[in-house]
Structures are given as C-alpha cells and as structure tokens.
Amino acid sequence: MHKLTLWFNSFKKVYFFIFLIVSLVSNSYAKDDILESQPEIPFKYDKLKESQNRLKLQVDFNKAILMLEREEYQKSIDLFKETSSILKIPSFLNIGIAYYKMGQTQNALLYLNNIYNYKEASVTDTYSYISACFYLYQIEKDRDYLETIIEVTKKYKSLTEHSKRLLADTYIILKDYEKALDILNTMEFPMELKKAMLYLKLNDYVKAETHLSKAKNETFNREKRDLILWLMVFRDLKANEIDKLKEHIEELKKIKDDLKVNLEYPLEIFFNQNKYTANEYFKSITKFDFNRQIDFLFYFAPFIFSDYEEIMYDISKGFIFKNKQNVESLEQMVKFNADFIAIIQDDPIIRVDKMKALLRDNSNSYVFYNLALCYAQIDDFHNAYKYFTKAYKLNPGNKLYAAMMIISAQKIHVRIKDMDYVVLNIKSKEGMYNYFGQILYKFFVEPKYKVDFDPLNYKATIFYKAINFLYDMQENKLDINNSLFTEHYKDPLVYLMKLAFKREGENNFNYFSRVQDETPLKINNNFVDAPLVVTRYYIDLLKAIGLFYKADFTIASAESPSYLRTKALRELHEHKPEESLQILDALQKQYKLEDKYTMYLMVAAYLEAGKYNEASLQISLIKALLNDGSADFLTGVQLIQELKFSSSSQYFVRPYYDDFIDFKIVNFEELLESL
C-alpha cells in the first residue's frame, strides 16, 4: 500500500510537470506564436504507460517542441530523434522542419519524404502527413504537394484546428483567398489579422476594417500593433475613406520615432495592370460611374457649325446685315463650316491642334465651344473648361454652352464663381439649345429640376438618344431595344455597349461565353485607333472577359497619335516601359499633350521602369498644370512612406480614382503566408 502511494505521488509530480509544459505550449498558441510543427496533441493521457522511460520520452517530446520554438534547432533534433521510437511520424516531421529552418534542405527532405512516402500516414496521422507536404512544397516548389493536401483533407468532413490552419495556408499559397477564408471562418481560434489581410486581397475593405479593429484591440505586442495600424492606413487608402485615414495618420504620428514597420513593409505606388477584378471591370462598362457618364456625354455631344441660330443671335446684338464687315463675317462663317467639316474627321488629338489654329481674337462662340469639345474628347478637361467658359461668356443665352461649362467644372472640381447667375440663365425661358441645356443640368446638377422645354426636332439626334440612354441606365430601365442600340449600332462605342449588354433570360454562363465569342480581337481598328472613350471601353471589356492579352493591338502602318498612345499602353502591359516612354515622349513633343490620361500613363511607365524620381516629378508636373486631386493623393501616399505625417494629411482632400496607378505594401504576400 505504501509503495502504491509513493508511486501515485511520483506519478502526480510527473503528470503535473507534463501538464505544465503542455500549458506553456497552449498559452503560446493563444498568443499567436504557435509553430506549424506542433502536433495536434503532444501526448494523450490514455496512452500513458507505467514505463518511466516511455513517460520520459513523451516529456522530452514536449521539451523538444519548446526548443524548436526558441530556435534551438540542433538540441530539438537530438531530442526528437530519441522520441521517434514512440512518436515516429510527429518526431520525423519536426526534425524535417528543424533542418529546413537551419537551411539543411537535403536532411529536411530525407525526413519529410519518409513521411510523404508512407501513404498510410495520411489516415493515421493526417496532420503530420499534410504538414510534411506543406514543407516539401516550401523546399521543392512542386504544386503537386499542395494538391495532395487538398485531396487528403477532402476525405474528412471535420478537420482539427491545426489541419484547418494548414489547409488555409495551402489555399493562400495557391492564391485562392476565398477558400482560405472559408476555412478560417470555421475555426475556433479567430486569427483576425490573417482574415483582415485576406479581405484586403479580395478588396473587401469593410470586412477588412472589422477584423483589423478586432486584431488591434486584442494585441498588446507593440510591434504587432504598429503593423496593424500600418495596414489600417493602407486599407483607408484603398477604400478612399479619407476621414478614417487622417485619424490613423494622427495615431502613427504619435509613434513616429519608434516606427520601423515602414522599412520591412514599405508603402509604394506602382503601375497595376489589373487594378480591378473582372467583375469590377464588368460593372464599370455596364453601369457607368460619374466619370464614364461624362466621357460618354462628350463623345456624343454635337459640334456646332455657324448656323441660323448663331446668326440670329448676332442680329440681336446689332452686328448682322448693317455693313460690309457683317458680310465678311458671314463669309468667314461659311469658310469655318467648310474647314470644320474636314477637321472633325481627323484623329481627336490632331483635331485639337487644327481647331486651335482657327482661333482668332474675334472668334465666334461656337469656335471656342468646338475647341472645348475637342479637348474634352481627349480627356483634357482643364482646357475644355477654359474654352467652354469663353464660349458661354460670348453667348450666355446658349444653355448648352452653360451646361457644358458646369459639367467640365465638375470633372476637375472647379467652383464657378457666378454659378447662381449661370443657373438663372439655364432656367430662363429665353435662349438657345434650351432643351439640351436644361436636360443636362437636370441630370448632372439638379435631378429634381423640371425641364421647361420639349425636345422637338432634337429627338432625331444621336445626342438626344445618348442622354435618354444615361437616364435609362440610371433608372435600370435599359433593354436591348433602346433606340441607341437599334438605330446607331454601327457606332464603335454603341457596338461595344450593345455587345456587353446582358440579354433578357441569359444566364451568367451564356452571357459571359457570348461576350467572349463576339468581342473582336483582331479586326478591331475601330476600337484600337479610336477616340479615347471607345479605346478605354474596349480595354475594360477585354479585361472583364480575360482576353486583354489575346487581342491584337497591331495596326500595320498606323501612325495616328490616338493609336500610338494605345500602343504605348499595350507596351506597358507587355512589361516594355522604355518603349512606352519613347512613344509618349514623341507624342508630347509633337502635340504638347497636357491631358490627364497621357500624363498618368507616363507616370505608370516611369514606375514600371523603376524610375521613381521621374515618376514623382511627373506627378508634381500634373499637380502644377492640372491642380489634380489624384496627384495630391499620390503625393500624400509618398509622404506617408517617408513618415512625414504632419504634411501628408493636407493632400488627402478628395477620393482617388485612376486606372493605372495603384499603391501596395511591399512584402504583403510574404507577410500573409508567414502569419
């Protein structure tokens, strides 16, 4: 009896020691420091034998895990070799991992392959088997190991927490972030930071914010909190949430002197070939945002010739039919019409140069209007606003001029000083182009405004049908029988929009397949060598259906500036930034382009070429010439990277939208895989 009591007391001490070690390991897990190598259960009490030697080996196994965690690799290997007599597969796994972390890959492969080649282990010790596959992939980069992990785990309806975590990591390496999240969301252990980063990869900034906030509240480690705050700033930038961004910048400012996370995970602007997902590209071409609505509008807007209405307006000012000068004015109008007919058939960029040559100090309002419209069609809205304003001031009774001035001002975020007076003119009963002026004012400025005039003979124009198209799109009333589709399907832009329009009763698979089959990839001159709004739409459509790199952008002997600019974009996508810059530099020298599209394309090319100083100078030039909000935003991003928090906030005034330039955290994927 006495011996039994002594044995029992001895056993309790040993058991307590083992329990203490297990608790330490478990606490380590609770603090996010758990090793991938830890077996699912360090030992099981029901397997505990009376043999003190066997008990000692099980204690040593747990000690070896702690040594592995402390990076005492050789000591852990020595112990694991001893414990392999009773825990062979888990011990071999940890030996392989220790050798891997020491850089001795051949030794690691020896032990890991020993597990991998023992197929029964996939059933008897599933976690160790798939963990061996995971590390074999890390060494040999053979995706078959990852596929093996997925195949093995498919056999089980329920997986342990360790197996789930390993499976999630496998999906992360395979870039299948949605499946990784599906696994993580079934786990008891929250792993908030990992989930947040996955949501960032999926552009779900709302859920990313939720999990980042939880991770921040649950973390007391200083370096990890700094990392989370850095990621929160990145999320705010991507989500365009300026108020939250400024709040988090203020938090960073308080810890600036000790901040190191920006060195390991720098914030960087870069050219993003596919800034949006396929679904986002689809949405952009089937439900226009504000910018595409404006581009669409100016594409269909009518050029104005010297017509009867303009002559009658001049009569009211007392100039026409009274002297020889007025006869000469009529002759100049006729000549303008003849010249203008030839000009509007030119390439949009060339058209601007030729229109500028027609300007005189005493030019009529429609000359300024037409030049403004030409600028709008090449995405130079600063000059468009300038000349729409001149046209309006020469003829304030022209409601179309007034509406175009307001819309171009909205595009570049300019405040019109005498806006109240302009609105009164638009709403007045007198004037010219009354219907168009008021209907555009209603759509872009005051939706509740009631238009006073009927369209009358304007109903026959493509501009009238284009405006109605925008209204139908806004109200979700578009159908395939829209008059723009049925009567003007030969127009390049209308052709593409009709192609991308989902037919009634068409399921997603048939819809996607049809668009892929019918989108021109070779006979595409009308889209590649075309006005900018058409080319942009074509490129976004190709990206939406995954065929951008299948399309042929080559047109033999084509030298038009619009085509060359498209060619520069394609060269950039083909990782040939120097060729792209060469084309853009030549266009700049010949045509002195100051449009936003071309200038940001140059920034993208500089970034892709690794010329960050030149890219920064180009951003500064855009800011100086265009006073552009996106240039301000990018300047703010650069200042954050340099930890100049006090001056960065002032540059975040408006949300950032640009097709080419994006920002990222360098080493983001590596961080995600390491968590």
List, in order, residues 6 or more apart from 236 with CB less than 8 Å away: 242, 244, 245, 248
List, in order, residues 6 or more apart from 55 with CB less than 8 Å away: 14, 18, 48, 49
The pLDDT assigned to 85 comes to 84
Let me know whether 455 and 561 are in one domain. no
Which CATH number fits the domain that encloses residue 133? Answer: 1.25.40.10
Q: Is the pLDDT of residue 306 over 50?
A: yes
> Percentage of the chain with pLDDT > 90?
75
Tell me whether residue 650 is in a domain: yes
Are the C-beta atoms of residues 608 and 575 closer than 8 Å to each other? yes
**pLDDT confidence of 48, banded at 50, 70, 90?**
very low
The pLDDT assigned to 310 comes to 58
CA dist list (Å): 148 to 129, 153, 414, 436, 653: 10, 9, 59, 65, 50
**pLDDT confidence of 54, banded at 50, 70, 90?**
low
Let me know whether 380 and 516 are in one domain. no
Supply 222's token pair.
């200083």
467, burial (CB in 10 Å: exposed 0-12, middle 13-18, buried 19+): buried
Let me know whether 525 and 597 are in one domain. yes
The pLDDT assigned to 658 comes to 85
Distance (Å, whole) CA 384 – CA 376: 5
Tell me whether residue 493 is in a domain: no
Tell me whether residue 41 is in a domain: no
Phi and psi dihedrals of 276, rounded to 5?
-120, 165
Distance (Å, whole) CA 544 – CA 519: 11
Q: Which of 45-54, 210-219, 270-279, 640-649 has the lowest mean pLDDT?
A: 45-54
Q: For residue range 618-631, what is the model confidence (pLDDT) as tens digits?
A: 999 999 999 899 99
Distance (Å, whole) CA 410 – CA 416: 9
Strand blocks (E) in 321-474: none
Query: Average pLDDT over the chain, rounded to whole?
Result: 87
Distance (Å, whole) CA 594 – CA 627: 12
Distance (Å, whole) CA 50 – CA 422: 96
Tell me whether residue 587 is in a domain: yes
Let me know whether 450 and 308 are in one domain. yes
The pLDDT assigned to 16 comes to 39
Are the C-beta atoms of residues 377 and 531 closer than 8 Å to each other? yes
Tell me whether residue 35 is in a domain: no
Let me know whether 565 and 654 are in one domain. yes
Distance (Å, whole) CA 260 – CA 264: 7
**pLDDT confidence of 159, banded at 50, 70, 90?**
confident
Strand blocks (E) in 369-516: none
DSSP state at residue 270:
E
Let me know whether 526 and 635 are in one domain. yes
Let me know whether 440 and 541 are in one domain. no
Q: Is the pLDDT of residue 46 over 70?
A: no
Domain boundary at 187, 222, 249, which? 187
Question: Which residues are registered as beta bridge partners of 88?
Answer: none
**pLDDT confidence of 333, banded at 50, 70, 90?**
low
List, in order, residues 6 or more apart from 162 with CB less than 8 Å away: 38, 39, 40, 127
| Boundaries of domain holding 612 | 508-668
Tell me whether residue 289 is in a domain: no
The pLDDT assigned to 332 comes to 58
Q: For residue range 87-136, what is the model confidence (pLDDT) as tens digits?
A: 899 999 999 999 999 999 999 999 999 999 999 999 999 999 999 999 99
Q: Map tokens 């071309």 to a residue.
A: 598
Domain boundary at 428, 460, 492, which? 460
Selected residue with higher pLDDT from 334 and 570: 570
Residue 355: what residue type? M
Tell me whether residue 345 is in a domain: yes
- Highest averaged pLDDT of the listed ranges 150-164, 307-321, 427-441: 427-441
Let me know whether 414 and 545 are in one domain. no
Question: Which residues are registered as beta bridge partners of 269?
Answer: 663
Q: How many domains does the chain have?
A: 3
Tell me whether residue 28 is in a domain: no
The pLDDT assigned to 27 comes to 37
Let me know whether 541 and 434 are in one domain. no
Let me know whether 343 and 414 are in one domain. yes
Domain boundary at 436, 460, 484, which? 460
Let me know whether 408 and 518 are in one domain. no
**pLDDT confidence of 29, banded at 50, 70, 90?**
very low
Let me know whether 321 and 386 are in one domain. yes
Beta strand pairing call for 661-665 and 267-271? antiparallel
Q: Is the pLDDT of residue 494 over 80?
A: yes
**pLDDT confidence of 342, banded at 50, 70, 90?**
confident
